[in-house]
Structure 1
Amino acid sequence: MKVNYILLLVFMLSIFTGCKEKSSEVTITGQLENVEDGTIINLTKSEGNIAIPISTDTLREGKFRFTFKDSINEARLFSIMAKGDGFPPTWLDIWVAPGAKIEISGKDKLIRTWNVESDITEQKELNQFKSITGEYQKMIQSIMTEAYSYFDARKKNPEKSKEYVAKMDSLYAIRDSLDILIIKKEVDLLAQNKTYSKVWLQKLNDHSMPLRYTELPQEYIDKMKNLYENMPKDMKKSDTAQSIYLSLYPPTIVKEGDNMADTDMWDVDGKMHHLADYKGKYILIDFWSSGCGPCIMAIPEMKEISEAYKDKLTIISISSDTKDIWQKVSKEKDISWVNLNDFKGEDGIKIRYGVIGIPHYVMISPEGKVITSWMGYGKGSLKNKMEELIKS
Structure 2
Amino acid sequence: MNKKNIITILLALLTSTGLAQTKTATVTGYSPALKDGTLVLAGTGTIGSVVDTVKAGHFAYTLPVEELTESFLCLMGEGCPNMSITIYLKPDLAVKVTGNDCLYPLWKVESPLPEQRTEARITEHCRDVLTEYMQKVLANKPWAELEPVEIKLAKKQMDILPALPMDAATIGKLLNASRIVKNIKDFPHMEQLKKIEKFVADRAPKGFEGQLAEIHSYVYPPRVLQVGDEAEDAELVDMQGQKHHLFEAFANGKYVLLDFWGIGCGPCMMSEPEMKEAYEKMKDKLEIVGINHNKISEWQEHEFSKRIVWTNWNNAMQDISRKYCDMGAIPYYILISPDKRIVWKDMGYIPGLFMGMADVLNGVKHKQDNSANFSLLIQKVDANASSTTVSFRYYGHKDYWFRIVKESYLEANGKKYMLTAADGIKLDEDNFSQVKATESTDEFLSNLCYTDFTLTFEPFDTIPTTFNFKEGDVEHAFVIRNVSLE
* Shorter-normalised TM range: 0.7 to 0.9
Q: Are residues 207 and 83 of structure 1, via their aligned partners in 2, closer, same or farther at CA, if it must alter by over 3 Å? A: same
Tell me the residue number matched to 1:360.
332
Q: Are residues 197 and 322 of structure 1, via their aligned partners in 2, closer, same or farther at CA, if it must alter by over 3 Å? A: closer
| Cα separation, 2, equivalents of 1:225 and 1:131 | 24
Tell me the residue number matched to 1:51.
48
Q: CA deviation at 1:333?
A: 5.6
The DSSP-based 3-state class of the residue aligned with 2:73 is: strand
Q: 2:179 aligns with which of 196, 209, 213?
A: 209
TM-score normalised by structure 2 residue count: 0.64
Tell me the residue number matched to 1:335.
308
Structure with higher Rg: it is: 2
TM-score normalised by structure 1 residue count: 0.78
What amino acid does structure 2 have at the position aligned with 1:381? L
| Cα separation, 2, equivalents of 1:216 and 1:257 | 24
What amino acid does structure 1 have at the position aligned with 2:60? R
Higher mean C-alpha displacement, 240-249 vs 369-378: 369-378
Q: Deviations over 1:34-58 (max 9, x none)?
A: 222343334x2223x32255x3243
Q: Deviations over 1:16-45 (max 9, x none)?
A: xxxxxxxx7644333313222343334x22
Q: Are residues 238 and 283 of structure 1, via their aligned partners in 2, closer, same or farther at CA, if it must alter by over 3 Å? A: same
Unpaired stretches in structure 1, ≥5 consecutive residues: 1-23, 148-167
| Cα separation, 2, equivalents of 1:217 and 1:286 | 27
* RMSD of aligned Cα (Å): 2.6
Tell me the residue number matched to 1:140.
133
| Cα separation, 1, equivalents of 2:149 and 2:305 | 41
Q: How does 1:284-295 map to 2 (within 5 A)?
A: 284-295=257-268
The DSSP-based 3-state class of the residue aligned with 1:336 is: coil
Q: CA deviation at 1:113?
A: 1.1
| Cα separation, 1, equivalents of 2:232 and 2:211 | 23
Q: How does 1:1-392 map to 2 (within 5 A)?
A: 26-42=25-41, 44-47=42-45, 49-52=46-49, 55-60=51-56, 62-66=57-61, 68=62, 71-74=65-68, 76-147=69-140, 168-169=141-142, 172-191=143-162, 193-215=163-185, 217-218=187-188, 220-230=189-199, 231-232=202-203, 235=206, 238-279=209-250, 280-329=253-302, 334-344=307-317, 347-354=318-325, 355-389=327-361, 391=363
Higher mean C-alpha displacement, 98-107 vs 366-375: 98-107
Q: Deviations over 1:253-288 (max 9, x none)?
A: 111111112201232234433232233221111112
Q: Deviations over 1:51-87 (max 9, x none)?
A: 255x324332x33334x4754243x222222221221
| Cα separation, 1, equivalents of 2:98 and 2:128 | 17
| Cα separation, 1, equivalents of 2:289 and 2:63 | 40
The DSSP-based 3-state class of the residue aligned with 2:291 is: strand
Q: CA deviation at 1:224?
A: 2.2
Q: Are residues 276 and 64 of structure 1, via their aligned partners in 2, closer, same or farther at CA, if it must alter by over 3 Å? A: closer
Number of residue pairs aligned between Structure 1 and Structure 2:
337
| Cα separation, 2, equivalents of 1:266 and 1:28 | 34
Tell me the residue number matched to 1:5.
none
What amino acid does structure 1 have at the position aligned with 2:263? S
Q: CA deviation at 1:329?
A: 4.0
Question: Identity across aligned pairs (percent)?
Answer: 27
Q: CA deviation at 1:237?
A: 5.9
Contact 1:100 1:120 in 2 (8 A): no
| Cα separation, 1, equivalents of 2:86 and 2:73 | 7
| Cα separation, 2, equivalents of 1:139 and 1:233 | 31
Contact 2:300 2:306 in 1 (8 A): no
| Cα separation, 2, equivalents of 1:233 and 1:263 | 28
Contact 2:118 2:169 in 1 (8 A): yes
Judging by fraction of residues, say which structure has more strand: 2
Q: Deviations over 1:302-322 (max 9, x none)?
A: 233333222222122111122
Q: Deviations over 1:337-388 (max 9, x none)?
A: 22222332xx231111124322221111110000011222243321112323
Contact 1:322 1:343 in 2 (8 A): yes
Bigger relative contact order, structure 1 or 2 (CA pairs below 8 A, ≥6 apart): 1
